[in-house]
Amino acid sequence: MHVEVVEVSPRDGLQNESVILSTAAKVDLVSRLVAAGATRIEAVSFAHPRLVPAMADAEEVMAGVPRQAGVSYAGLVLNRRGLDRALATGVDEVNVVVCASDTFSQRNQNASTDESLAAAIDVVRDARAAGLFTTVSIATAFGCPFEGEVAAERVLDLARRSADAGADEICFADTIGVGVPTQVRSLADGFRSTHETALRFHFHNTRNTGYANAAAAIDAGVMTLDASAGGIGGCPFAPRATGNIATEDLIYLVERMGMSTGWNLLAVLPIADFLSAELGKTVPSMLSQAGSFPPSA
Amino acid sequence: MHVEVVEVSPRDGLQNESVILSTAAKVDLVSRLVAAGATRIEAVSFAHPRLVPAMADAEEVMAGVPRQAGVSYAGLVLNRRGLDRALATGVDEVNVVVCASDTFSQRNQNASTDESLAAAIDVVRDARAAGLFTTVSIATAFGCPFEGEVAAERVLDLARRSADAGADEICFADTIGVGVPTQVRSLADGFRSTHETALRFHFHNTRNTGYANAAAAIDAGVMTLDASAGGIGGCPFAPRATGNIATEDLIYLVERMGMSTGWNLLAVLPIADFLSAELGKTVPSMLSQAGSFPPSA
């Protein structure tokens, strides 16, 4: 069995760090990831540079990263303007985000969930017409920092409408790291009771449930999971807490369970050191602290 | 469904910290744990004080902790001398450790695995005769820092012989934090294919698999899990790494999945602050950094 690890450190990771990397350092990061085995990388965001200054150099990053067969680059897109930029840079995929919580959607995208879904459906249609693979990510799918609980039925409804609009993939995102395995199972099973569109999960480890959720997703047969090298990313709603699950720790979990990822774990560990140096802090991944196992591996 | 969280911070937690707490601080810790809902606490070790100086005040700690109905105290015991001390202090349970890895056993207990098992069987017989609840913990059950892989069949054989000798409970311990959910399932199912003795798991989060393992244990029907308030403990074989899974993070995981623990999560969080102050460092639990969810909880 194979688990596809989608690398999100260049986008969701770096976007939520206080230190902004140079374009050259971002390109260096992506090059190291590709050399370590990454085949899908969310590399950039085409959100307005005023709103997400850390990602303002999306065009320059995409111009510098290694393009080669078998490596697919994704950019985050929120609207037609973002899609135009994505098309101009030649990304392979777009990831369109819809926040399940209305309050979070208003604060994060200055639009209601319904408005955001309508915009996402337009982007999906246009992106597919242009030949891009399209993912719709349902953010705050496991809970909202403002509203608290988010009903699974609301999340599933957004996912179904996105799939009906033609999205190639639906990604359920635990944006603030509150989810647990029972929710993973319920979203996966709920969606697949009506749809066959490919599923993907995006977990944060903010409350130490991220790897349990990853194992639960695999157990439920969802074999595409996001992760961030070094576990970089953080959480704007819990400033002292950690963010994305770490690529190296997810690879360890998956491969020790007898499945493959296609990555070279020992080539990922130095990337954590690179990121620690660039960000000026110890990154939260555990393998980078404890080393792999067995010792010879 | 109920998950029993066995609190091990006073013993496995403090034993592996570089700062040694005063007897009064240890008693304070245990009192806070009881007030927060702990019903089973591994409070002390009766290993030789020369070998484990941090636990040398076991008698004084046990003389100070609150004794009340519904709270059971365990002490770690390796031999008859330790059992005599345990009996004199009036603990309710003893936990006897057998290391599945011969090399680890020699280095940790100065005895082979077979010698250690023979001693454990003697302790179990004598402890039961004295009316104590007895647990045999199989250490390095998921891997050894010296030998690498440890065969599940060897671990299961030790567990079965301990159960046949009359142990009330078998605890599979991931001493160095290398285990994954497939191993959890295989040990649980393997043991129960031949025995009905109660099972318990002891997980470390050294490589970020501890909570995934906890969820897997629950999924396999093993409802007794060790945890350490604040996640204190560390790992002597990975000095920069973390140790035991954290009580508060395990409670969050379990209760958000709709099960009960009997603990008051909001009363545990200040214990992490207390431990951070006593140990002079930020403890590794995540709930203590990020807060619980939903925000009102």
Residue B16: burial class (beta carbons within 10 Å; 0-12, 13-18, 19+): middle
| B235 classed as catalytic | yes
Whether residue B181 has pLDDT greater than 80:
yes
Q: Which residues of B touch A149 (CB under 8 A)?
A: 294
Nearest to A83 by CA among A116, A27, A130, A23: A130
The answer to whether B175 touches B209, Cβ cutoff 8 Å, is: no
Catalytic residue among A99, A144, A171, A235: A235
The type of residue at B210 is G
Look at residue B117 in the predicted model and tell me its pLDDT: 98
User: Residues 6 or more apart from B43 whose CB is under 8 A from it?
Assistant: B10, B11, B30, B61, B62, B65, B73, B74, B75, B91
Whether the CB of A17 is below 8 Å from some CB of chain B: the reply is no
Q: Which residues of B touch A240 (CB under 8 A)?
A: 289-290
User: Interior CA angle at B258 toward B255 and B259, to 5°?
Assistant: 65
Q: Which residues of A touch B256 (CB under 8 A)?
A: 178, 180, 182, 209
- Distance CA(A228)–CA(A244), nearest Å, equals 6
Look at residue A296 in the predicted model and tell me its pLDDT: 65
Q: Which residues of B touch A176 (CB under 8 A)?
A: 293
With CB atoms and an 8 Å threshold, state whether B258 touches A286: no
Whether the CB of A141 is below 8 Å from some CB of chain B: the reply is no
- Going from N- to C-terminal start, the domains of chain A cover 4-290
Closest to A182 (Cβ–Cβ): which among B249, B258, B287?
B258
**Closest chain A residue to B237, measured at CA:** A290
ipTM higher than 0.85?
yes
- Distance CA(B265)–CA(B279), nearest Å, equals 21
Look at residue B296 in the predicted model and tell me its pLDDT: 65
**What percent of chain B clears pLDDT 90, i.e. is strictly above it?**
95
- Distance CA(A292)–CA(A249), nearest Å, equals 9
Please state which of the four CATH numbers 3.40.50.1980, 3.20.20.70, 3.90.550.10, 1.20.1050.10 is assigned to the domain occupying A4-290.
3.20.20.70
Q: How far apart are the first and last CA of chain A?
A: 20
DSSP class of residue B22 equals: P
With CB atoms and an 8 Å threshold, state whether A290 touches B238: yes
Closest to B148 (Cβ–Cβ): which among A176, A235, A294?
A294
Q: Which residues of B touch A214 (CB under 8 A)?
A: 212
Helices (H) and strands (E) in chain B — how many of each?
Answer: 12, 8
Whether residue A240 has pLDDT greater than 90:
no
Whether the CB of A256 is below 8 Å from some CB of chain B: the reply is yes
With CB atoms and an 8 Å threshold, state whether A216 touches B215: yes
Whether the CB of A220 is below 8 Å from some CB of chain B: the reply is no
Whether the CB of A290 is below 8 Å from some CB of chain B: the reply is yes
- Sign of torsion over alpha carbons A163, A165, A166, A171: negative
Look at residue B265 in the predicted model and tell me its pLDDT: 97
Look at residue B240 in the predicted model and tell me its pLDDT: 76
**Closest chain A residue to B287, measured at CA:** A207
Nearest to B43 by CA among B100, B106, B85, B103: B85
Q: How far is A93 from chain B (nearest CA, A)?
A: 30
With CB atoms and an 8 Å threshold, state whether A177 touches B290: yes
SS3 B63: helix
- Distance CA(B254)–CA(B276), nearest Å, equals 24
- The mean pLDDT of chain A is 96
Q: How far is B159 from chain A (nearest CA, A)?
A: 22
Interface subset of A 263-282, CB within 8 angstroms of B: none
Look at residue B234 in the predicted model and tell me its pLDDT: 80
Q: How far is B197 from chain A (nearest CA, A)?
A: 26
- Distance CA(B171)–CA(A35), nearest Å, equals 42
Look at residue B235 in the predicted model and tell me its pLDDT: 76
Whether residue B155 has pLDDT greater than 70:
yes
- The mean pLDDT of chain B is 96
DSSP class of residue B45 equals: E
Whether the CB of B114 is below 8 Å from some CB of chain A: the reply is no
Question: CA-CA distances (angstroms) from residue B151 to A297, B142, B157?
Answer: 17, 8, 10
- Distance CA(A23)–CA(A52), nearest Å, equals 15
- pLDDT per residue over B44-68, tens digit each? 999 999 989 999 999 999 999 999 9
Whether residue B297 has pLDDT greater than 70:
no
Q: How far is B127 from chain A (nearest CA, A)?
A: 36
Whether residue A278 has pLDDT greater than 70:
yes
Mean local confidence (pLDDT), A256-274:
97
Mean local confidence (pLDDT), A70-88:
97
The answer to whether A77 touches A44, Cβ cutoff 8 Å, is: no
Whether residue A57 has pLDDT greater than 80:
yes
Closest to B182 (Cβ–Cβ): which among A235, A258, A296?
A258
Q: How far is A92 from chain B (nearest CA, A)?
A: 32
Q: How far is A179 from chain B (nearest CA, A)?
A: 8
With CB atoms and an 8 Å threshold, state whether A238 touches B180: no
- pLDDT per residue over B238-290, tens digit each? 777 788 999 999 999 999 999 999 999 999 999 999 999 999 999 999 999 99
Look at residue B244 in the predicted model and tell me its pLDDT: 96
- Distance CA(A292)–CA(A264), nearest Å, equals 12
User: Residues 6 or more apart from A249 whose CB is under 8 A from it?
Assistant: A211, A227, A231, A285, A286, A287, B207, B208, B209
Whether residue B105 has pLDDT greater than 80:
yes
SS3 B5: strand
Whether residue B176 has pLDDT greater than 70:
yes
Question: CA-CA distances (angstroms) from residue B219 to A71, B207, B254?
Answer: 36, 21, 11
Whether the CB of B143 is below 8 Å from some CB of chain A: the reply is yes
Catalytic residue among B99, B144, B171, B235: B235
